[in-house]
Amino acid sequence: MIRTPDDGTRLRILAWLREPGRAEHGATTEAVADRFGMTRPVALTHLRLLTAVGLLRTGGTAGRPYHRCDEVRIAEVARIFEKGW
């Protein structure tokens, strides 16, 4: 789900959200859309999927949510793949 069917966009979004500054504060859907040159609905689809699989947490206000990486969950998933799953 992280890699397909897109072209690695979700992995790039995760990497961008883990950068210093952004990791603490997160980013809005609009910021993700602007950064990756996509429409808001496309960005929202990627963010919702990443949230659904537990790799992102969403906080902030209902009208302006901020998305942050869930580092604990990312580490768990990495361990699963390292074991050859």
Please give the mean pLDDT across all residues of the chain.
Answer: 87
**Threshold 0.75, pTM exceeds:** yes
Cα–Cα nearest to 22, from 59, 75, 68, 62: 68
8, 13, 14, 15, 39 from 3: Cα distances, Å = 5, 11, 11, 13, 19
In angstroms, the CA 1 to CA 70 distance is 16
**Mean pLDDT throughout 10-37?**
93
CA-based nearest residue to 59, from 48, 46, 69, 68: 68
Give 4 or 48, the one with higher predicted confidence: 48
